[in-house]
Amino acid sequence: MEYLSLPLVLREGYLPRTDLRESITYSIGLLLSTRVGSMPFNPEYGCDLWDKEFSDLYTSNKADIRANLRNAIGKFEKRLYNVSVSLIQSGDQTTQALGMGVKVTGNYLDDNEEMKFEARYDLG
């Protein structure tokens, strides 16, 4: 099965396609970068991460942040299950002012075969 690739860019009447794993990767990236309430078609879509000040990410309860992100992924990316979220140091601190990232792991089914999923997302 083919999935639309994000961002959606129409070129000569063609929307780029991708596989299931990349579709899940794009979907979670969009979810993590969206503030709750900013999407008119679904005001619940997004994560609460952006309601915090950047300094709060270092001082607040990391378990609460991880749980919020895991719940958002569980609610809006149902193709992924057994989701685990961890906060990590960003790979490239010279270009990322915040220096923090999110690692998401889990499982998904592709043609009835269980596959492992892992992706990293930089914040800031």
What is the residue extent of each domain of the chain? Answer: 3-123
Average pLDDT over residues 94-120: 86
Q: Which residues contact 123 (CB under 8 A, 6 or more apart)?
A: 32, 49, 57, 90, 96, 98, 100, 101, 102
Per-residue pLDDT tens digits for 48-60: 877 765 556 666 6
Percentage of the residues of the chain whose pLDDT score is greater than 90: 48
- List beta partners, residue 82: none
Fill in the DSSP letter of residue 7. S
User: Which neighbouring-strand residues pair with 110?
Assistant: 113
Q: How far apart are CA 47 and CA 57, in angstroms?
A: 14
User: What per-residue confidence (pLDDT) applies to 75?
Assistant: 96
If you average pLDDT over residues 12-22, what whole number do you get?
80
The model's pTM is: 0.79
Fold of 3-123: Nuclear Transport Factor 2; Chain: A, (3.10.450)
